């Protein structure tokens, strides 16, 4: 057994077993409360620059498969587990979690008190950390943790977005009625592939462009709508992306998800702020204001949009987080623009939020603002299905 150490900037040192690649990494330490979906977590580009602690006690028991990949490679800085399964069992598995972590260069630790780490993060807020398999004393490791960059002011979207345009054609449905009826430009700031699959499933032809593509280049594609996807880092630092959206607002329907939610808000004059320890998990209750219905959602973000700044930007709240009252969705009063902070494609067991993609399709058809009645009607149809 090769040892591995994790250090937090508050002086905490955890010693466990290395179950990934060799080396030393630094990043912001966060915790994720999902009980399943560790492969989706690992391949989510929004974790760039972060060391992820899983609160579920055993990770890796169903192995790794080629269907649950969300990006072209792994971007996170490290992975922390109470117990990494030594065996996996799943008919679709193509390998073990341990091998996957090694092959993808992820430094990972098993055998540490993840509950204790999570409690520290909940009290102190996100802490910078370092994780290492190399022989160094605790003082060196702590110094590395304390030298890691703060997430506030950090533009990480440019590190994860694919610089090349591409056409996305993979969907879960074999053939969708009216396929190709819409042309959607998806802006990649670290976009998850399942978002693109859902766009195909509503009948869209999807062109993926880097999130910093100039507005005129996007409009030259003659899109029926623009989807702004998720990504890592401080949204206020993604200045090129914000400028792009300012050139698109009012000219095409826009749907923002996660980082896209924050970038659209900033482009329209609202403000963002850093959450104490972020929302990372698959069990966050969100109320839809139009229906009064609670959706169980998948989330991964460390920043949020300031609710009090919406009115001056011509926006109104559509969804609210029931854990802490933070804003989870908004729509514009007069323009075809809406956004949600959570991941409607995440499917954390239920498909509560999938209706939002059909809301986007309806907004592209009508080119009118997103009405509460649309949220109400399509959410109700989702329940009946």
For the stretch 209-253, pLDDT in tens is 999 999 999 999 999 999 999 999 999 999 999 999 999 999 999
Known catalytic residue at 258? yes
Choose, from 4, 48, 126, 258, the residue flagged as catalytic.
258
Inside any domain, residue 264: yes
Choose, from 126, 284, 343, 359, the residue flagged as catalytic.
343
Task: Let me know whether 171 and 285 are in one domain.
Answer: yes
> In the chain, which ranges are continuous DSSP H helix?
38-42, 97-103, 114-124, 138-147, 157-160, 193-201, 215-219, 239-246, 259-267, 355-366, 372-384
> In 28-137, which ranges are continuous DSSP H helix?
38-42, 97-103, 114-124
Q: State the residue for tokens 């909940």.
A: 122
Query: Which of residues 147, 167, 201 is at a domain's end?
Result: 147
Task: Let me know whether 138 and 226 are in one domain.
Answer: no
Inside any domain, residue 152: no
The average pLDDT across 106-132 equals: 98
Inside any domain, residue 9: yes
Per the prediction, the chain carries an average pLDDT of 94
pLDDT at residue number 351: 87
Task: Let me know whether 100 and 235 are in one domain.
Answer: no
The average pLDDT across 72-95 equals: 96
The average pLDDT across 366-381 equals: 85
Task: Let me know whether 248 and 101 are in one domain.
Answer: no
Task: Let me know whether 130 and 169 are in one domain.
Answer: no
Q: What is the DSSP letter of 249?
A: T
The average pLDDT across 332-346 equals: 96
pLDDT at residue number 65: 95
**Does position 46 have pLDDT exceeding 50, yes or no?**
yes
pLDDT-derived band at 116 (thresholds 50, 70, 90) equals very high
Highest mean pLDDT, choosing among 71-75, 344-348, 370-374: 71-75
Inside any domain, residue 317: yes
Task: Let me know whether 106 and 248 are in one domain.
Answer: no
Determine the Cα–Cα distance for residues 58 and 103; give it in Å rounded to an integer.
21
Determine the Cα–Cα distance for residues 348 and 344; give it in Å rounded to an integer.
9
Inside any domain, residue 52: yes
Q: How many domains is the chain partitioned into structurally?
A: 2
CB 49 within 8 A of CB 150: no
The average pLDDT across 367-383 equals: 82
pLDDT-derived band at 175 (thresholds 50, 70, 90) equals very low
From the list 35, 234, 6, 28, the residue with the least C-alpha distance to 121 is: 28
What pTM was computed for the model?
Answer: 0.96
Task: Let me know whether 110 and 189 are in one domain.
Answer: no
The average pLDDT across 371-385 equals: 77
CATH (domain of 56): 3.50.30.20
Determine the Cα–Cα distance for residues 267 and 257; give it in Å rounded to an integer.
14
pLDDT at residue number 174: 42
pLDDT at residue number 176: 47
Inside any domain, residue 328: yes
What domain range includes position 7?
3-147
**Does position 383 have pLDDT exceeding 90, yes or no?**
no
Query: Which of residues 147, 178, 203 is at a domain's end?
Result: 147
Inside any domain, residue 368: yes
From the list 38, 65, 8, the residue with the least C-alpha distance to 280 is: 38
pLDDT at residue number 349: 74
Buried b or exposed e, range 284-298, using 16+ CB within 10 angstroms: bebbbbbbebebbbb
CB 184 within 8 A of CB 225: yes
Beta bridge partners of 48: 76
Task: Let me know whether 89 and 216 are in one domain.
Answer: no
Determine the Cα–Cα distance for residues 25 and 191; give it in Å rounded to an integer.
24
pLDDT at residue number 376: 84
Residue 336 corresponds to which tokens in the numbers above?
């075809």
The average pLDDT across 111-118 equals: 98
CATH (domain of 307): 3.40.50.880
Task: Let me know whether 69 and 210 are in one domain.
Answer: no
The average pLDDT across 31-48 equals: 97
Query: Which of residues 147, 181, 215 is at a domain's end?
Result: 147
pLDDT at residue number 120: 97
Determine the Cα–Cα distance for residues 148 and 252; give it in Å rounded to an integer.
40
Known catalytic residue at 343? yes
Task: Let me know whether 99 and 142 are in one domain.
Answer: yes
Choose, from 28, 295, 345, 362, the residue flagged as catalytic.
345
> What percent of the chain has pLDDT above 70?
97
Inside any domain, residue 360: yes
pLDDT at residue number 379: 81
Task: Let me know whether 244 and 362 are in one domain.
Answer: yes
Task: Let me know whether 134 and 166 are in one domain.
Answer: no
């Amino acid at each position: 057994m090769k040892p591995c150490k994790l250090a937090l900037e508050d002086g905490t040192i955890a010693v466990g077993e290395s179950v990934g690649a060799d080396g030393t990494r630094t990043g912001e330490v966060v915790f994720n409360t999902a009980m399943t979906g560790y492969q989706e977590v690992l391949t989510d580009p929004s974790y760039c620059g972060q060391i992820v602690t899983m609160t579920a006690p055993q990770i890796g028991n169903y192995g790794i498969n080629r269907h649950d990949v969300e990006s072209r490679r792994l971007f996170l800085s490290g992975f922390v587990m109470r117990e990494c399964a030594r065996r996996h069992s799943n008919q679709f598995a193509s390998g073990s979690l341990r091998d996957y972590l090694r092959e993808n260069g992820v430094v990972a630790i098993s055998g540490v008190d993840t509950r204790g780490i999570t409690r520290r993060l909940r009290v102190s807020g996100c802490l910078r950390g370092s994780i290492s398999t190399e022989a160094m004393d605790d003082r060196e490791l702590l110094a590395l943790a304390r030298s890691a960059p703060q997430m506030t002011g950090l533009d990480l979207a440019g590190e994860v977005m694919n610089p090349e345009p591409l056409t996305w054609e993979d969907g879960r449905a074999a053939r969708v009625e009216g396929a190709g009826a819409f042309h959607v430009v998806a802006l990649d700031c670290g976009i998850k592939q399942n978002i693109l699959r859902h766009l195909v499933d509503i009948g869209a032809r999807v062109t993926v462009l880097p999130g910093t593509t100039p507005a005129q280049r996007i409009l030259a594609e003659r899109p029926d709508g623009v989807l702004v996807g998720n990504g890592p880092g401080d949204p206020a630092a993604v200045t090129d992306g914000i400028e792009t959206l300012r050139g698109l607002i009012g000219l095409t329907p826009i749907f923002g998800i996660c980082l896209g939610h924050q970038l659209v808000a900033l482009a329209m004059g609202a403000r963002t702020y850093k959450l104490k320890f972020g929302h990372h998990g698959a069990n966050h209750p969100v109320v839809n204001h139009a229906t009064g219905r609670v959706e169980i959602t998948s989330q991964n973000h460390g920043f949020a949009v300031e609710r009090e700044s919406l009115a001056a930007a011509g926006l109104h709240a559509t969804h609210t987080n029931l854990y802490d009252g933070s804003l989870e969705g908004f729509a514009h009063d007069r323009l075809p623009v809406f956004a949600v902070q959570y991941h409607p494609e995440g499917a954390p067991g239920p498909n509560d939020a999938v209706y939002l993609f059909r809301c986007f399709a309806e907004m592209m058809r009508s080119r009118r603002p997103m009405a509460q009645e649309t949220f109400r009607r399509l959410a109700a149809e989702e329940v009946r299905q």
